[in-house]
């Protein structure tokens, strides 16, 4: 990871520590500056019908300038940190390009 930038919210070059959850998801939006939106799909069991239903959540995450190659569809690993803004509580740790 190249550190030729200044970013107060970057876990690699500033004092933002990663603690708590480590999550994997698919990037669905890169429209914000230094922030991406991750979608997590999961199954929820409904006891009455003895079946699973599909659900999803979206998680906004801070994307440091070292991850300039993030595109929609990439698999992203994010880690929990302190609140960085009103909605952002996660930081991008790793990006696996979409094949």
Picking from 63, 72, 59, 57, the residue whose alpha carbon sits closest to that of residue 93 is 63
In degrees rounded to 5, what are phi and psi of residue 32? -85, 160
Picking from 45, 13, 18, 30, the residue whose alpha carbon sits closest to that of residue 76 is 30
Against a cut of 0.85, is the pTM above it?
yes
Average pLDDT in the chain: 92
pLDDT band at residue 42 under the 50/70/90 scheme: very high
Q: What is the pLDDT of residues 53-86, one digit of tens each?
A: 999 999 999 999 888 889 999 999 999 999 999 9
Average pLDDT for residues 18-44, to the nearest whole number?
A: 95
């Amino acid at each position: 990871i190249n550190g030729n930038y200044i970013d107060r919210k970057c876990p690699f070059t500033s004092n933002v520590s990663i603690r708590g959850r480590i999550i994997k998801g698919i990037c669905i939006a890169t429209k914000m500056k230094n922030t991406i939106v991750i979608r997590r799909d999961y199954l929820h069991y409904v006891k009455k019908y003895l079946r699973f239903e599909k659900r999803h959540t979206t998680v906004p995450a801070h994307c440091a300038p070292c991850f300039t190659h993030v595109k929609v569809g990439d698999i992203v690993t994010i880690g929990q940190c302190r609140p960085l803004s009103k909605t952002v509580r996660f930081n991008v740790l790793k990006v696996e390009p979409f094949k």
